[in-house]
Amino acid sequence: MAGGPGRPGDPAAPDGRMPGDPAGLDAARARLVDELRASGRLTSKAVEDAFRAVPRHVFLPDVPAGRAYQDEALVIKTGEDGLPLSSSSQPAIMAIMLEQLQIAPGQRVLEVGTGTGYNAALMRHLVGPGGSVVSVDIDPDLVASARENLVAAGYPDVIVVCGDGGFGVPEHAPYDRIIVTAGASDLAPEWLAQLRPDGCLALPLSLRGIQLCVALERSGNHWRSRAACRCGFIRMVGSMAADESHVALGPQPGLHVLVDDGTPVTDPDALWAALSGPFADVPAGVDVAGLAELGEADLWVTMTEPGLSRLTIVASGPLRGEALPLLPFGALAEPASDSGAGGPGVAAGPGAGAGPGAGAGPGGGAGQASASLAVAGLVPAAPPPRGRRDFEVAVRGFGPRGAILAERLAGRVAAWNASGRPRSSDLIVTAYPRGAPGEPMPAGPGEVILDRPDTRLVLGWPALP
């Protein structure tokens, strides 16, 4: 409950109060909001005021109160395999999405993915007395707890519906704004149909395995992004769940791999053996200012290599929540026909690691990769000097053919640098609903087309040739 006693293990506030104490909780919330504002995540007074007013700890009754005001995502439900099913999103990305939506007083908002109810309460504060918020979640346990949390926090009039969010909530439509808080690979026709003509849809959209929070507005017969940033959300279930599954890698509970836009993993043992074996680093000759910019290079490499499959590596059990030093940004896989030996090649996304040369992978070198398997990935070429965040990019190759693939991707990193280092915020996403007139067919220069069941997505950096 709000204002209850501090729990054991809660860190003390700078003034000596425990965060469970009302004054300590208020101070912790104020510090979080100040951090979000200083980082540029909060840019409007309206969204800032909402974060100052809504108590996040009330929506996380099983989490130490002080931790509720850390800028981190908190898993609230896991499956039998140890993988997360639902979480309270990181406040920074929540702020970004709410700024993207530009919610105004009096508007009607639909949220797909209720979670704890915290985000719905923030939006209820934004729409004010003349507006309304409807939230839908497929999990009845989450719906019940969110309703309790909203009442406890003072937002009992948020409408929480138990149902498949892929169908929206038509009985309360139309909406001025729709926000989806689970990763989606497509745009549900029901979401677009339930939006007003001048409405806006914000969602984490999976583009070749990389999630971008995009805000889309109607533009004639299609939808065009007005903002985008990189993110990471638990994926949707129900009618809008992608046709994909996690494949276990190595001893369990441990790592799982998910393949997007490419050939499925048919030999997980070979992939695990490759990732557990020796590697070699190929310097790209490009410096970046920290992991965030390394992620921008990863996005460019992924979008400009549409012939490769994208791998996402996730952890369960005791590994969940830890940084995966070899593959924190994911991986790329080469189709068997390109490897020349009947198996996939893999190019891993950016990550942290040791300097150039060979070394042991996550399994300490156990096992031998199939001769047909190539694995590679972007990493720092060497640890940053003390007190500095910048480092040179290298591409780490695993398996017998890993160095070849690493050389290829190192060239892509150099091309990213030569093109002015395009960022995710510069990427334009255009969505054409299936059957709409004017749907594009071939990709234009510098564009990638992703066909989904309900939409055709066109991705590109318009400033590039």
> What's the CA gap between 266 and 288, in Å, rounded?
35
Sign of CA dihedral 268, 259, 243, 146: positive
Q: Are 220 and 227 in contact (CB under 8 A)?
A: no
Nearest CA to 102 out of 272, 216, 9, 258 is that of 216
> What's the CA gap between 158 and 156, in Å, rounded?
6
* DSSP of 263-322: ---S-HHHHHHHHHS-EEEEEEEEEESSHHHHHHHHHHHHHT-TTSEEEEEEE-GGGTTS
Q: How many CB atoms lie within 10 A of CB 465?
A: 6
SS3 for 142? helix
> What's the CA gap between 378 and 127, in Å, rounded?
43
Residue 253: asked if its preceding bond is cis (omega within 30°), the reply is yes
Q: How many CB atoms lie within 10 A of CB 389?
A: 12
Among 86, 87, 88, 89, the active-site one is 89
Residues 6+ apart with CB under 8 A from 251: none
Per the annotation, the verdict on 89 as an active-site residue is: yes
Cα radius of gyration rounded to whole Å, the chain: 23
SS3 for 376? strand
SS3 for 457? strand
Q: Which long-range contacts (CB under 8 A, 24 or more apart) does 300-303 make?
A: 300/412, 300/413, 300/415, 300/416, 300/419, 300/422, 301/332, 301/347, 301/378, 301/409, 301/412, 301/413, 301/416, 302/208, 302/209, 302/210, 302/330, 302/332, 302/349, 303/207, 303/208, 303/427, 303/448, 303/459
Catalytic residues: 89
